[in-house]
Structure 1
Amino acid sequence: MSGRLNVVVFFTDQQRHDTSGLHGCPLDLTPNLDAWGARGTHFAQAITPQPVCGPARACLQTGRFATAIGPGCHTNGRPLPAEADTLAKRFAAAGYATGYFGKWHLAGGGDAVPEESRGGWQHWLAANALEATSDAYQTRLWDAGGHPVDLPGYRVDALTDATIRWISERSGAGEPFLCMLSHLEPHMQNHRDDHPAPAFSAGRYAGRWTPPDLAALPGAHPAVRHLTGGNAQQQLAGYFGMCRRLDEAFGRLMDALISLGRIEDTVVLFASDHACHFRTRNDEYKRSCHEASVRTPCVAHGGPFTGGGRVELPFQLTDVAPTLCGAAGVDPPEGAQGRSAVGLVRREPGAAAAWPEEAFIQVSESVTGRAVRTRRWKYAAEAPDAAPGDRFAAAYTETHLYDLLADPHELINLAGLAAYAPVRERMKERLLRRMAAAGEPAAEVRDAAPPDPMPPQHAQRELRAADDRVPLG
């Protein structure tokens, strides 16, 4: 036993925060996550910096915003530069064995990932776009030599079994380890646009509960525009079944650490790359500023995180690498723009005051957009003259303002309302400040035009807001 902390990242794909009991889900999908979150640290305001797969993963690996990584990793299909400093490189330099399992999505294209595109991970059993090389019961990965490996069982179980075997081997080898288990679930199976849960499990959740935003919103895709909730009613049962199986796998991983005697000297972080709005906010599943796209479950246990309680300041994927490095006493990746949350968890003097009050979000592919989110306010702007794949824009126009206290499901857009001008100006300042800190070129954000005609409920809300002098958050 090395005496140093081991680190495991259990990473899911497209998982909404409200699938967890920690966030009020009534379906008991995540009993293991809920229990370990209560015993460890619950990052209650986990907000992705990029609501799409490849860019979000680039943020996690480097601690940088996607536009700041080499020539930019802000859209899918852009490889992580070979020279990028990463979580795995830092841990390897500190004497750790590193192992990666599952979905990568940072090689630009192809199925097998060449060594120079693996971000410095040593042991390798992964596929670039796992959704394209596998199915629920057909898991194909590639090993470090580029050879295909087919694993038996449901995909979540197959990946978890392989990871537990590696952890067991490393646990007896006398050197600390860093391991990342990157699942595809609960992401849809792309080639047929469904959510294949384990056999017979989806029926357990059919018609039982619909998140309030989905229950209220019409579909945005032409095929589902007439349906409340987009395609959620067709997809939620399978999606929830996937989430339940992920939680069972997470429980098995924690059980393995208990049986190996490593539960207290291993930091385990549960996180997701982004969430899912089921075609209610735009024509697909994510790529928007809304909570249904950007807010995810996030829990840590072990080392400084055991007994850490609930953290209410925003925690983003850019903070993962600095935080895990900080917990293990390893230098963070060079140029990391995120911060270590270890001081927050330990309640160190000044740590909370120095932490940003807002999360910063970059949106690409659907639009070129930017957003900031405090605990109360969500403010977003889009570049009308930019192509969706553009890295930056010179001018944005505000498109969304939500009062998350009064409207947590973001059903009433307050952008353009005169009574909220003080809020809009303050949030605009925050947005421009965060854009500059992320290394973006100077830009302007133009005011939204007032609604014309103004809906009656907005007119009433405007008068009430003027009377109440809505506080800034």
Structure 2
Amino acid sequence: MNATNVLFILSDEHQHNLMGCAGHPFIHTPNLDALAARGTRFRNAYTPSPICVPARASLATGRYVHDIGCWDNAIAYDGSTPGWAQYLTASGMVTDSIGKLHYKGEAAPTGFRHQHHPVHILDGIGQVWGSVRNPLPQTMGRSPLYDKIGPGLSNYNRFDMRVADTAVERLGEHGDNTKPWVLFAGLVAPHFPLVVPQEFLDLYDPDSIELPLLHPSSGYVRHPWVERQAVHMDHDAAIGSDERRRLAMACYFALVTFLDAQVGKILAALKSNGLDETTTIIYSSDHGDNLGKRGMWNKCLMYRESTGVPMIVAGPGIPNGKVCETPVSLIDIQNTILERTGCVAPGNTSPGESLAKLANAPDQPGRLAFSEYHAVGSETAAYMLADADYKYHHYVGLPPELFDLRRDPQELHDLAALPDYAGVMDLFERRLRELLDPEGVDRLAKADQARLVEAFGGREAALRTGTPAATPVPVE
């Protein structure tokens, strides 16, 4: 097949199943639904790490977090590990970004020809306080992340509209290109703050929204690793009431629809410039959001609300309207972009595969997706392995979890301790240890973080250093 252009749209914190095309009963996502209808949606798609900076470093390089050492939101991608943008630019291909990347900084040699409205970790240091893990502080105090919930127009909303408008402009300039190009558009919705224009919030009545499942007030007992996260920074307590929980969910749903509208503007420009028949379109997100389930908000957990991501690929040669069962990951995007553009990348060691090839192949339900977490709120590392049937969580020093995804897609029933599943547990632990040394990687991450903490003056100084909440975006 001839090489294509690539338009890669990445959102931030979009839960995997919150699209009409994914079967959600009331979410409004007409543009993403239309994209899925003309392409392939991967039902079992995951992030390599359920937190922004490590996930995006893996995405940039096609490598796992433990391979590149970008452990948390203070250790960002700096270009030292080659990635797809570097390979493309070295081959002479026009490769530009618009919006959020969340790398070390704009000056880092990450490969883009131009970065329009770039967003990186604040001051090149990010959340230094989140690197303090050994020992983990008992609590960071009341969470400020959900102080603002409701209708309005936030800097994040304005930024996303500017990113979409700039993407429309750039696509207008690509119409005459004879060589494949790659354009990355990084949107920040539906990431908190949960503030959204009223017209989108009007689509979701908070009073009609059911409260999240498995709240501890109902008698549910959280896994000890998760409970430690909640004690460290209790977002649910900061939200406070059932009324505000429903409003928070309504705002999140509205932000997903707001995001869909920005995607629609970009896709309309692609079509109006005659580029849709020669362009591969990828839509995904860096990770999901717990959205109140188990009394947890934000991300950072191994459950699918946090580790699952939407994944849609469309374009020449991609099956229309297909739902692929093969487990995939953001790790696969590097080789997708290289394969679709025809870019030869000597030295590329990514374990990923082209999503276009996977879409055209028979489903591979036994293929594994992997995720890991070594960041804020965790005393020890957490790892996830998932195929299309089972999802396994390994917590260093704590009991594992196992879920049957076919029978229990909501992950309500942990099977890890049941004798009937001993063989499945043994198989997944063996496969995990073939991939990495869980305890050794945990020690390595903590050692790197300890060096970072010392570089900022030690534990107490580090706890006072870094952006306290969401990374700010440029304001016009």
TM norm. shorter chain > 0.5: yes
Could you tell which deviates more after superposition, 426-435 or 224-233? 224-233
**Structure-2-length-normalised TM-score:** 0.75
**Structure 1 letter corresponding to 2:355:** A
Of the three residues 204, 213, 216, the one matched with 1:215 is 213
- Relative to 1, partners in 2 of residues 1:38 and 1:176: Cα closer, same or farther, differing over 3 Å? same
- Relative to 1, partners in 2 of residues 1:230 and 1:188: Cα closer, same or farther, differing over 3 Å? farther
Query: 3-state SS of the aligned residue for 1:319?
Result: helix
Match of 1:168 in 2: 172
Q: CA RMSD in A?
A: 3.1
- Relative to 1, partners in 2 of residues 1:255 and 1:183: Cα closer, same or farther, differing over 3 Å? same
Of the three residues 219, 231, 236, the one matched with 1:224 is 236
Q: Give distance in 2, aligned partners of 1:431 and 1:36.
A: 34
Query: 3-state SS of the aligned residue for 1:50?
Result: coil
Give 1:172 deviation, angstroms: 2.7
Give 1:139 deviation, angstroms: 5.0
Query: 3-state SS of the aligned residue for 1:36?
Result: helix
Please say if 1:85 is aligned against 2:79.
Answer: no
Could you tell which deviates more after superposition, 78-87 or 7-16? 78-87
Q: Give distance in 2, aligned partners of 1:35 and 1:208.
A: 29
Residue pairs, 1:235-314, within 5 angstroms: 235-281=248-294, 284-307=297-320, 309-314=322-327
Give 1:180 deviation, angstroms: 0.7
CA contact (8 A) 2:214 2:295 kept: no
Q: Give distance in 2, aligned partners of 1:181 and 1:121.
A: 12
CA contact (8 A) 1:304 1:345 kept: no
CA contact (8 A) 2:394 2:401 kept: yes
CA contact (8 A) 1:400 1:413 kept: yes
Query: 3-state SS of the aligned residue for 2:46?
Result: coil
**Structure 1 letter corresponding to 2:371:** I
Query: 3-state SS of the aligned residue for 1:381?
Result: strand
**Structure 1 letter corresponding to 2:215:** L
Query: 3-state SS of the aligned residue for 1:166?
Result: helix
Match of 2:92 in 1: 95
Residues 264-320 of structure 1 deviation map (CA, whole Å, 9 limit, x = unaligned): 101110000100013545765111110110112111111232537221111101000
CA contact (8 A) 2:171 2:273 kept: no
Q: Give distance in 1, aligned partners of 2:165 and 2:234.
A: 40
Of the three residues 345, 350, 374, the one matched with 1:364 is 374
Task: Structure 1: give runs of 5+ residues left out of the alignment.
Answer: 108-112, 141-152, 190-194, 385-396, 444-473
Match of 2:433 in 1: 432
CA contact (8 A) 1:381 1:400 kept: yes
CA contact (8 A) 1:100 1:121 kept: yes
CA contact (8 A) 1:215 1:228 kept: no
Query: 3-state SS of the aligned residue for 2:73?
Result: coil
CA contact (8 A) 1:63 1:338 kept: yes
**Structure 1 letter corresponding to 2:91:** A
Give 1:436 deviation, angstroms: 6.3
Q: Give distance in 1, aligned partners of 2:348 and 2:244.
A: 42
CA contact (8 A) 1:66 1:73 kept: yes
Match of 2:414 in 1: 413
- Relative to 1, partners in 2 of residues 1:101 and 1:118: Cα closer, same or farther, differing over 3 Å? farther
Q: Give distance in 2, aligned partners of 1:249 and 1:309.
A: 24
User: Percent identity, aligned pairs only?
Assistant: 26
Q: Give distance in 2, aligned partners of 1:313 and 1:155.
A: 34
Greater RCO, 1 or 2 (C-alpha within 8 Å, sep 6+): 2
Please say if 1:322 is aligned against 2:323.
Answer: no
**Structure 2 letter corresponding to 1:127:** V
- Relative to 1, partners in 2 of residues 1:230 and 1:398: Cα closer, same or farther, differing over 3 Å? farther
Match of 1:334 in 2: 348
Match of 2:34 in 1: 35
Residues 44-101 of structure 1 deviation map (CA, whole Å, 9 limit, x = unaligned): 11111110001111111100001111xx012111131333211111111222111111
- Relative to 1, partners in 2 of residues 1:418 and 1:73: Cα closer, same or farther, differing over 3 Å? same
**Structure-1-length-normalised TM-score:** 0.76
Give 1:343 deviation, angstroms: 2.4
Q: Give distance in 2, aligned partners of 1:404 and 1:211.
A: 22
Q: Give distance in 1, aligned partners of 2:242 and 2:94.
A: 45
Match of 2:119 in 1: 127
Query: 3-state SS of the aligned residue for 1:431?
Result: helix
**Structure 2 letter corresponding to 1:104:** L
Query: 3-state SS of the aligned residue for 1:154?
Result: helix
